[in-house]
A and B are shown apart, each in its own frame.
Chain A
């Protein structure tokens, strides 16, 4: 088991290096330092201002190998943009934000809490709500209840997430005043601000989730072990809730990791609309102020989270399914 986990993490190293390479290509090769400086410095910067900005961000150094001798005559071949970039990411020495003038690491520390307080409950609640509905529909497969439910799912899927948020906020917070419209409170008091965003997150994912889990359940229903269970006289409910649900957990686990990117999008918009000072908020500020170091760091951090998530999924397979070996 331990050797499997270690091997799995070692296999992820090339992928992490690949992600570093992609961010390097994006932010150092495709984006020219002068253009970045121009965007960052605002209206009509002078040539000297641009040159100073470029030099202060180390973007005037050679791309790969620094073959110029320093004043003291020593050679620093690895003092180049590429190696500095790699060192920055691999050693977690993230740069300073261009806009907020604060270390990105400390910004992340401030923002991660509010973000998690939104996404984790939303994620868990959507599983708790979606799975039973999917099981219920799978139980009535082929009947009119199934067809109607599927059609409702397609309709729910066709509503844009922006519309869920805008109309949900307007109806439930502005018109009926069930929830506060906007704001956040650090500590336990946050729950009343988070209630509506969490509900909207669950609602916006409901259609797609139910339909997806139903398909997974129906694939399992056709399996041989279901026929065996039926033959020995297990009730339909027993088969569905014990045998099918257990076996469906594997594909469901896969999708939970795959849904991480959607969690980002959802929380991004929810954080803007409800004024939650989280990662989405940080991202929007970075976009509006051309804050490249923050975006670069976020791309890297989220990719790491995604890779770690997929490793955890592989490991959890072995916990729910004895057939999956550690090989």
Chain B
């Protein structure tokens, strides 16, 4: 993508106020995720340990024993009065953990789940899509057969099967989501490569004696890369939503990883007992981030490539 293309895209996005608002919200969430990545030293008897992140340090509040409502001004058991600064703004969950803190911890997980699988998928999809589209013939048939087979297995079942076999964990989840989501992207890139490879400038480069590798990676790849960028933003919401479902049914991230799916799972039966803050916080975080990405991704897609509009 040339500089001017990028400028045109940015100008188009800036015209849409909703998309700009969405982008700002994404930036705020990304900032929280970054804060959760910066390790801070903890002094212990055995030396300095680098386990705490900046986000952990910002939430240095006394844990409760059990549920406490949002903004409770005194502790549940010792009835000690809290200073305003050490109150749990959004209450605590059944283990006495601060709900706001748990919600913020989920942001980093959401970003990892929303972006890493598409990057993994893009690696496969770009290579295979380029080769299928460029070489055609037997290679094309083989790659098409592979994605025909994989797309015939409903992705939720393939995910469950893979996650049952692998150990539970955030990275395993990313790999599983990546493997199940490369097919759509591969199909798009193959189609685009078919179009691009017969354009005049590729013909010209071939006439000048450029090798296949140079044609593919130097001339065709940059002209299909925008599809990858579009796909990353478009898939983000779906991936984050899938994570909550998978965690809810018991094959998602392991306990101990901040996750909105886990918060929802732990809180959904408590709604009838009047404990709403835990569930609402997780749902609100999820809703706001997904809404921001949905508004931004649509505009980005239209700005970069209006032909890809799917609905």
Contact = CB atoms under 8 A, between A and B. Distances in A.
A272 B286 CA distance: 21
A22 B294 contact: no
Interface residues of A, number: 54
A160 B294 contact: no
Interface in A251-275: 260-261, 264-265, 268-269, 272
Nearest to B248: A162
B154 A160 contact: no
A158 interface: yes
B157 A30 contact: no
A170 B268 CA distance: 10
B309 A215 contact: yes
Contact of B160 (A31, A216, A272, A287): A287
Contact of A166 (B156, B164, B250, B279): B279
A159 interface: yes
Contacts of B279: 166
Contacts of A299: 153, 157-158, 161
B295 interface: yes
Contacts of B241: 160-161
A162 B245 contact: yes
A19 B271 contact: no
A31 B165 CA distance: 6
Contacts of B152: 15, 18-19, 303, 306-307, 310
B interface bracket (residues with beta carbon within 8 Å of A): 35 or more
Contacts of A260: 154
Contacts of A292: 164
Given A212-B311, A288-B250, A299-B153, A170 B160 contact: no
A212 B311 CA distance: 4
A292 B164 CA distance: 8
A158 B156 contact: no
Contacts of B146: 18
Nearest to A209: B311
B77 interface: no
Interface in B11-30: 18
Contacts of A283: 160
A257 to B, nearest CB: 11
Interface string A16-53: 00110111001100110000000000000000000000
A259 B166 CA distance: 27
Contact of B272 (A159, A170, A269, A295): A170
Given A19-B152, A261-B154, A268-B249, A158 B311 contact: no
B244 interface: yes
A154 B291 contact: yes
A14 B157 contact: no
Nearest to A14: B145
A158 B287 contact: yes
B184 to A, nearest CB: 10
A306 B154 contact: yes
A216 B283 contact: no
Interface string B270-311: 011000000100010011001100110010000000000111
A290 interface: yes
A26 B165 contact: yes
B269 to A, nearest CB: 9
A261 B155 contact: yes
B150 interface: yes
A161 B283 contact: no
Contacts of B295: 154
Contacts of B257: none
Contacts of B160: 283, 287, 295
Interface in B141-155: 145-146, 148-150, 152-155
A269 B154 CA distance: 16
B264 A166 contact: yes
Contacts of A265: 156, 245
Contacts of B156: 261, 264-265, 268
A212 B150 CA distance: 24
B149 A272 contact: no
A18 B142 CA distance: 12
Nearest to B157: A299
Contacts of A307: 152
Contacts of A81: none
A214 B160 CA distance: 33
Interface of A: 14-15, 18-19, 21-23, 26-27, 30-31, 151, 154-155, 157-163, 166-167, 170, 174, 208, 211-216, 260-261, 264-265, 268-269, 272, 283-284, 287-288, 290, 292, 295-296, 298-299, 302-303, 306-307, 310
Closest 8 CB pairs of A and B: A18-B149, A212-B311, A158-B291, A261-B154, A215-B311, A31-B165, A158-B290, A303-B153
Given A22-B158, A265-B245, A287-B249, 15 more contacts: A14-B145, A15-B152, A18-B145, A22-B149, A22-B150, A23-B161, A26-B162, A160-B244, A162-B261, A166-B264, A170-B271, A208-B311, A261-B154, A295-B157, A302-B153
12 contacts: A18-B148, A18-B149, A18-B152, A160-B241, A162-B261, A162-B264, A170-B271, A215-B311, A284-B249, A287-B250, A287-B251, A298-B157
